[in-house]
Amino acid sequence: MVMGPTHAVSGAAIWLAGSAIADAVYGVHQTASELMVGTIVCAGGALLPDLDCAGRVLKNRGGSTVARTFGPVTMIMAEATERIAWGFYSITRTKKDGKRNNGHRTLTHSWMFAGLIGLLFGWLANEFGKAAMIPILFFMIGLALRGLMAEVAREKGWFVVLVISGVGAFGAYRLLPENRSYWLIGIAVAVGCVIHTLGDIITKMGCPLFFPLPIKKQVWYEIGVPDKMAVKVGGPFEKKVLTPGFTILGGVAAIAMLPEVRAAIVALLE
């Protein structure tokens, strides 16, 4: 899989860039707090699919970094997610799909999952309003921290991540405006999941993006790039091009969203 920091940075950068375009072209304006929350949620969403990579985290072996976000709780979540995904794959696979011994890069790495999980988070946020934002933000901030501040999170441990996530969730809750539709949260989660899969398909192992649509008699057909074009996980291209590139994109987009910069751009275009 692409490294956690790359996933998280790409999620944050794409959300900021998309928000800048939506504001400039379609007049979809977000307050500073809404933009901050959306960016964090999209960064966290860009790590969410890897909850299906449990490895042997309950024995402190293997597994994705995100599975360790909140210690034993997310380890159990990852174990359950992988087993559910594996069971679902085993039930729905065709003869052409073949057998697997784990659920990684199956259900949670499909665009169907991205859409459904986005709808779930969006519905919860919209139905229960700001009250629902605290647990949602708590979870997504934790995932984002594991990606954006991977080394610090690893060094300080899951309890520190838990505390920061709690404080951040409460702070964001206080800043968010009342009487607003929070469907945007669901969109941010879904976009993050899609960005995750796009990052994974450029490595040697593809993702079943279009499940359950049959392709070549496979419902779990993996979309990917030729091995010669595949990015080496943790290699020079990822570390020196992808991660810095997305960081720069996010920075430029954030600057473009500043009122003074927007006003200057409008003045130049008139």
SS3 218: strand
Cα separation of the two ends of the chain? 46
Query: Could you please report the per-residue DSSP string of 110-171?
Result: SHHHHHHHHHHHHHHHHHHTHHHHHHHHHHHHHHHHHHHTHHHHHHH-HHHHHHHHHHHHHH
| pLDDT tens for the 270 residues of the chain, in order | 457 788 999 999 999 999 988 888 888 888 888 889 999 999 999 999 999 988 665 555 556 778 888 988 888 899 999 999 999 999 999 999 989 988 999 999 999 999 999 999 999 988 888 888 889 999 999 999 888 887 788 788 888 999 999 999 998 888 887 777 788 899 999 999 999 999 999 988 889 999 999 999 999 999 999 888 888 877 888 888 888 899 999 999 888 888 778 777 767 766
pTM over 0.85: yes
The answer to whether 146 and 64 have CB atoms below 8 angstroms apart is no
